[in-house]
Amino acid sequence: MKIKIALLSLMLITALGVGSASAEAKSKPSAPEPFHVARTPAEKALDDILRRADQDKNIFHYVLGTPFYDAEKDSGYARLFTKNFLRAAAKKESDAVKRSCDGKYTGEICGLDSSPINCAQDISESGYLHRTMEDDGRRAIISSMGVDFAPEEVKTSYRLIKDGNRWRLDGVACGGGGEFNMECGGSMCPDVSDLRKKAGQGDADAQYDLGVMYNIGRGVNRDYVEAARWFRKAAGQGHAGAQSYLGYLYEHGYEGVTQDNAEAARWYRKAAEQGHADAQYYLGDIYEVGRGVTRDDAESARWHRKAAEQGQVHSQHILGLMYDKGRGVTRDLDEAARWYRKAAEKGDSDAQYSLGMMHRTGMGVQRDLAEAEMWLRKAAERGHAEARQEVEKLDRR
């Protein structure tokens, strides 16, 4: 599961002093909070490595020393990593194979098959934020944290060292523990033998958990066919999480599950009717566009409201938008602002932008330019294009 990369900063602009100093103060940001877009050389180097690793899977093969990487790019990849990191990665790979089923390599060790660099962000539901923990100009430790669901939880920590004029990746700690993420351990690389036994005995929770393991490749080889098989068993016993997961597989058409919007809607509904918030969000989404069901804005709003009331951040933003536009509900700007704020406070950049613009115009909220600027800057730091344009206007004043 790929997860989008989420980057956030809170930069408050303060107007300090008077006279000739006031113009300078208006454009000078106060000290930023720890989360921010890449700014320092070490942060920019890490950002480049992560982006390249997401876009070019040959980087993973190069790190693991397999023969599948593009030899012509070898020298380019080498500039990203220290020899220490490459040796450690190869050793962890070798050790993992030796430990697994008498030397038979049976699955991803915390993303080892696909991403020895950013496996932890694959596990995170909400992406990551950069936070520099140490940087003395020669050595830096940069951690990635949760966004929506566990904002203080370390997902990954990266160690970089200065090599001449370049910063290079020297180590990765997975989930905040260990030296390199290839080591893994504990819940990150679980033994699934007991889980498999319980699932085989008909335990619905175990069947669901085993389906998740196969779906993300944790403790077993990633296998969508097996994932769907175990989800289907658990879903048949009424497990809401499995029903929602199965709906997602049908909606997107994974290996082992033929894409079928009507079937996706059927499973989403089963889970949603049991109160599963994500399923309610997905069901609201497909009613909004008419995918697998007849398009119905009122029905979409109904399911998004159920999910939003349980704290589902995407539904909170969408419900705010529906009240803002009068789509599926009676237009109510006060309600729009209320739901935008709930989502914005959880880091949703679209909601932050919308709330910022409402404060700028005074529609649905009291007009407050400082509040507007704060939310627009939050959204801009998370990559919201329209918010960035608004912030650029502010900075040119």
What pLDDT is attached to residue 216? 67
Structure tokens at 191: 């033994």
- Integer-rounded Cα Rg, in Å, for the chain is 24
Distance (Å, whole) CA 17 – CA 198: 68
Q: What is the mean pLDDT of the segment spanning 156-177?
A: 79
What φ, ψ does residue 81 adopt, rounded to 5°?
A: -130, 150
Distance (Å, whole) CA 141 – CA 167: 12
What pLDDT is attached to residue 252? 87
User: In the Cβ-directed half-sphere of 291, how many Cα atoms lie within 13 Å?
Assistant: 17
pLDDT value at 122 more than 80:
no
Q: What does each C-alpha distance from 396 to 10, 23, 111, 297, 391 come to in angstroms?
A: 19, 11, 44, 40, 9
DSSP string computed for 252-298: HT-TTS---HHHHHHHHHHHHTTT-HHHHHHHHHHHHHTSSS---HH
Q: Could you tell me how far CA 276 lies from the centroid of its own chain?
A: 20
Long-range contacts of the stretch 390-396 (C-beta < 8 A, 24+)? 390/353, 390/356, 390/357, 394/13, 395/27
Burial 21-49 (b: 16+ CB within 10 A, else e): eeeeeeeeeeeeeebbbbebbbbebbbeb
Residue-wise pLDDT for 287-325, tens only, equals 999 999 999 999 999 999 999 999 898 999 999 999 999
Per DSSP, the three-state class of 173 is strand
Residue-wise pLDDT for 332-344, tens only, equals 999 999 999 999 9
How confident is residue 14, by pLDDT bands cut at 50, 70 and 90? very low
Q: How many CB atoms lie within 10 A of CB 119?
A: 28
H helices of 66-139, where?
A: 74-78, 83-99, 119-123
Contacts of residue 138, defined as CB under 8 A and 6 or more positions apart, other chains included, come to 161, 162
Residue-wise pLDDT for 25-79, tens only, equals 333 333 334 455 677 899 889 888 887 877 776 777 777 776 656 666 677 788 8
Q: Could you tell me how far CA 367 lies from the centroid of its own chain?
A: 33
Per the CB < 8 A criterion, the answer to whether 347 and 148 are in contact is yes
Domains in the chain (CATH in brackets) are 31-187 (no CATH), 196-307 (1.25.40.10), 311-397 (1.25.40.10)
pLDDT value at 221 more than 80:
no
Distance (Å, whole) CA 15 – CA 120: 40
pLDDT value at 102 more than 70:
no
pTM of the complete model beyond 0.75: no
How confident is residue 159, by pLDDT bands cut at 50, 70 and 90? confident
